Amino acid sequence: MTSQQSGALRHVVVVGASLAGLRACESLREEGFDGTITLVGAEHEIPYDRPPLSKKVLAGEWEVERIRLRKADDFESLALALRLGVRATALDTHARTLSLDDGTTVVYDGLILATGASPRRLPDQPLLAGVVELRTLADSVNLRDRIAGDTARVTVIGAGFIGLEVAATARALGCAVTVLEGAPSPLIRGLGVEMGAAVAGVHARNGVHLRCGVQVASLEGEGGQVTGVRLGDGSLVASDVVVVGIGVAPNTQWLVGSGLTIGDGIVCDATLSAGVPGVYAAGDCARWPNAAFAGFDDQEMRVEHWTNAAEQGAAAARNLLLVAGGGEAEPFSSVPFFWSDQFDSRIQFVGRAHGDDEVHVFAGSTDGAFAALYGYQGRLRGVLGVSMPRMVMPFRALLAANATWAEALAKAASLTAG
Ligand SMILES: Cc1cc2nc3c(=O)[nH]c(=O)nc-3n(C[C@H](O)[C@H](O)[C@H](O)COP(=O)(O)OP(=O)(O)OC[C@H]3O[C@@H](n4cnc5c(N)ncnc54)[C@H](O)[C@@H]3O)c2cc1C
């Protein structure tokens, strides 16, 4: 699409230089957009991949250069106006301008917001060395240096996927690792009570001390260095390193007052339009009604997974171009997929899990490798596999087609037959 075909679109600004933002830039060029693309990113790094930050990079097995999403010279072929180390601070959708924290203003014809999410912090706690969150390359390198000596006592607050991946990596390096979780079971939000406990069994088998149903009262320190985590019952979990992994919040504060609708993410329509001409959102910061889950009460969703960010970045760019060229935007409908590596287990999930789901283990056994279906109101909602890759992806198409529970059971039977 030349600038003539894309109508009035001459300058597209993408905010957020990570996975969704990069895929948006790539898609604009692939579709033939030959106007200016400005990529604004708060980090100084060219886009890199986050999943290895809690796995191979943290373990010290991969060099940092290996996780670049595009090599430097390959990057140049996109012909981007790069504004790295610069944060967008305000958006004026009437004037179509963006204010940046270096004091400059950028005028856009089209805008893609891909600002991702940031770790939630423990409220009202002192600033102590040794207390870390994990979102950026710098966070990962900092944590790697603290656990590399294999003698650190590492406490992870929060038994979600990232917390458990850090626990597994630190334990594999030889650290003494405790995981503290307030809920009765790990991974509840991602997998539900029963399967969360089953998946986390690998931690007990590898010597991680997993404590659920405990409340964190405060962080304790001496001379500015963390010494432990005080629990609600008054006891202290002595720690050299504390990793806070209590979830993330979308990076949308800077958009308050812009006129966009914000509500646990940038609220978009089915095409990822943020409700203002020429403005789209993608990735961890975007909330949209996903037609693949039509009829379920949580059809409107925000997804915090790699595959979604990549797919949405590309889709938002295509829709921006389609509409600018006088066409009609296409709804973005997708079945979420994620993976997680913990010790020698590869966990994969397609679809969505919900506390009320019926769960049916159809292959293997929950004390090792297994696969399970998640169903709700007579329909398939998700499929979990632990070290069973061939049992998961075949269900993605069924989920996209709104398969019934009976159809899912039949598919499971066919996969396990013979
Ligand atoms: C340690 C870790 C491990 C993970 N492992 C997995 C995994 O195994 N499987 C999986 O599916 N997913 C995993 N994920 C999740 C996955 O990496 C994210 O879903 C993905 O990075 C989201 O991409 P994004 O581009 O939407 O946002 P982000 O990657 O969060 O990037 C957003 C970018 O925007 C920048 N930004 C924010 N605000 C502004 C602003 N105002 N101005 C300019 N720039 C701004 C940020 O600095 C950031 O660079 C993991 C994430 C982490 C942190």
Segment 190-237, tens digit of pLDDT: 898 899 999 888 999 999 999 999 999 999 999 999 999 999 999 999
CA-to-CA separations, 330 to 177, 272, 307, 323, 356, in angstroms, rounded: 47, 9, 19, 10, 32
2, pLDDT greater than 80: no
Ligand 1 pocket mutation, candidates 115, 140, 342, criterion most atoms within 8 A of CB = 115
Q: Which residues contact 190 (CB under 8 A, 6 or more apart)?
A: 160, 161, 196, 349, 353
What number is the average pLDDT over the span 310-332?
Answer: 97
Query: What Å distances lie between residue 2 and 5, 29, 194, CA to CA?
Result: 5, 10, 53
- Equal fold, 11-118+249-324 vs 344-416: no
Residue positions counted in the chain: 418
Mutate to test the pocket of ligand 1, among 284, 308, 337 (most ligand atoms within 8 A of CB): 284
Q: Ligand 1 atom 38: the closest Cα is on which residue?
A: 115
* 290 pLDDT higher than 50: yes
- What whole-number distance in Å separates Cα of residue 229 and Cα of residue 191? 27
Cβ-Cβ contacts under 8 Å for 111 (sequence gap 6 or more): 12, 13, 14, 15, 91, 96, 98, 278, 279, 280
pTM equals 0.96
Please give the distance, rounded to the nearest whole angstrom, from the Cα atom of residue 50 to the centre of ligand 1. 6
Residue 418 — pLDDT band, cuts 50, 70, 90? low
The pLDDT, as a whole number, for residue 7 is 64
Contact 408, 398 (CB under 8 A): yes
Q: If DSSP codes are grouped into helix, strand and coil, which group holds residue 48?
A: strand
Helices 306-324, 19-30: axis angle to 10 degrees equals 40
Mutational test site, ligand 1, from 14, 15, 18, 68, max ligand atoms within 8 Å of CB: 18
Q: To which CATH superfamily is domain 121-246 assigned? A: FAD/NAD(P)-binding domain (3.50.50.60)
DSSP, res 330 = P
Per DSSP (E only), the strands in 94-253 are: 97-100, 105-107, 110-113, 117-119, 131-132, 153-157, 176-181, 209-212, 216-222, 225-231, 236-238, 241-244, 248-250
Which CATH number among 3.40.50.280, 3.40.140.10, 3.40.50.1370, 3.30.390.30 corresponds to the domain 344-416?
3.30.390.30
Q: Which residue has the tokens 């020429």?
A: 278
List the chain domain ranges.
11-118+249-324, 121-246, 344-416
pLDDT for 389: 87
Cβ proximity of 23 and 49 under 8 Å: no
User: What does residue 119 show for φ and ψ, rounded to 5 degrees?
Assistant: -60, 140
Q: Under CATH, which number does the domain 11-118+249-324 receive?
A: 3.50.50.60
Give, using CA atoms, the residue closest to atom 20 of ligand 1.
Answer: 306
Amino acid at 303: V
Ligand 1 pocket by C-beta < 6 Å: which residues? 15-21, 40-43, 50-51, 53-54, 87-88, 114-117, 134-135, 162, 251, 254, 283-284, 304-307, 309, 338-340
Handedness of CA 201, 202, 205, 209 (dihedral sign): negative
Q: Which letter does DSSP use for residue 54 in this model?
A: G
Look at residue 6 in the predicted model and tell me its pLDDT. Answer: 59
Q: Is the pLDDT of residue 5 over 80?
A: no
Distance 284 CA to ligand 1 centre (A): 7
Residues 6 or more apart in contact with residue 164 via CB below 8 angstroms: 156, 179, 186, 187, 200, 203, 340, 342
Mean pLDDT (the chain, rounded): 94
The residue-averaged pLDDT of 377-406 equals 94
Cα(18) to ligand 1 centroid in Å equals 6
Alpha carbon of 19 to ligand 1 centroid (Å): 7
The closest residue, in CA terms, to atom 33 on ligand 1 is 16
Q: Is the model's pLDDT at 355 over the cut of 90?
A: no
> In which band, very low, low, confident or very high, does the pLDDT at 3 lie, cut at 50, 70 and 90?
very low
